[in-house]
Each structure stands twice: as C-alpha cells, then as structure tokens.
Amino acid sequence: MIRSPLLCLVGILLGSGAGPAVLAAQPQTGQPAPDFALSAFEGSNVRLSEYRGEVVVVTFWSSRCEQCAAQLAALDGLQATYGQAGLVTLAVNVDDDQQRASTFAREHALRIPLLKDPGKQVSRAFGVDRLPTTVLIDRSGKVRYLHRDFSAAGGEYLGQVRSLLDDSPN
C-alpha cells in the first residue's frame, strides 16, 4: 500500500512514539466543539470557550506542511476582512520540534494567533489525522463545517464563513 508522505508525517506527529496514533473521533457537525486552552507563540493564552458568540475557525498546521503555510496566509486575510464582523481564527500547531515551529511563527507575519499544542491533546480531541485540518464553529460553539485539506485556488471557506457570520447564535 502506498501512503502519502503527508499522512505518514501526521501519523508521526500525532502518534505517541509507541505505536500507531490513536485518535479521538472527529467532532460531528452540529455537536459542540471540544474546548481547549493553549498558549500562543506570541501573546497570551487562548481558550476556545472565550469566543462563544463569535464565529471561530480552528486550523491545525505544521511548519513542515506547504499547504498549511498557504492556508494560514489565506485565513489571515479572511480574518483581516471579517474580524470586525465577529470572525476569530485560531491556528493550532502540531510540530514536535517547537523551535522549528517558533521560527516559522517569527518568519510569517500573521495576525492570527499561532498556538502551541506540543502534547497533541487538542489535535487528538479534534481527531486530526491529516494537515491542514480546519474546523468552522458557529456562534453557539457547535461544529458546522470540517475541512481535511486546502486548495489555495478554491476559496472554499468564504461562503461558509459568510453564512455563519449571518447566523444568529442559538
């Protein structure tokens, strides 16, 4: 069986080192997103539940993932455009090498918070099995959309984000 190098990398990143990675089931659409608190590479700690009432995009990334870098830049632009309307974007790093991740964070001038998940607890809670994985959460804290890849040309999140921003919290 041929495996994608990216999927193998994610297996290594999320695994315990003692065997295959054991992942939690991905949150289902319509279900509450798992809460978490993480520290940022720069700035203060972030807790997901503090953003109840906002539309939240949570994306999982690695400094070794080329698609992730393109996606982070696109999400940063989306945040700049829709932040005033209630959009919050959180980028959760899954690198084992925190120095490499920190270097990536310094070299990329992003306005969105880049968060550290060195123990992979948050990644496991969201069932991340490939990168980038992105979860769109509505104003009531429920998962509404789940993306397990990224196409820079697609603009796939724009319509969904706009729809969520137009929705009232339940």
* Nearest alpha carbon to residue 123 among 46, 59, 56: 59
Structural domain boundaries in the chain:
25-166
Whole-angstrom CA distances from 121 to 40, 54, 134, 168 are: 15, 23, 16, 30
Task: Let me know if 117 is exposed, middle or buried by CB neighbors in 10 A (0-12, 13-18, 19+).
Answer: buried
Supply the pLDDT for residue 24. Answer: 53
Amino acid at 52: R
Sign of CA dihedral 15, 16, 20, 22: negative
CATH of 25-166, one of 3.50.50.60, 3.40.30.10, 3.40.718.10, 1.10.390.10: 3.40.30.10
Amino acid at 35: D
> Can you give the pLDDT of all 170 residues of the chain as single tens digits?
333 444 333 443 444 333 334 445 667 889 999 999 999 999 889 999 999 999 999 999 999 999 999 999 999 999 999 999 999 999 999 999 999 999 999 999 899 999 999 999 999 999 999 999 999 999 999 999 998 877 654 567 789 999 999 987 65
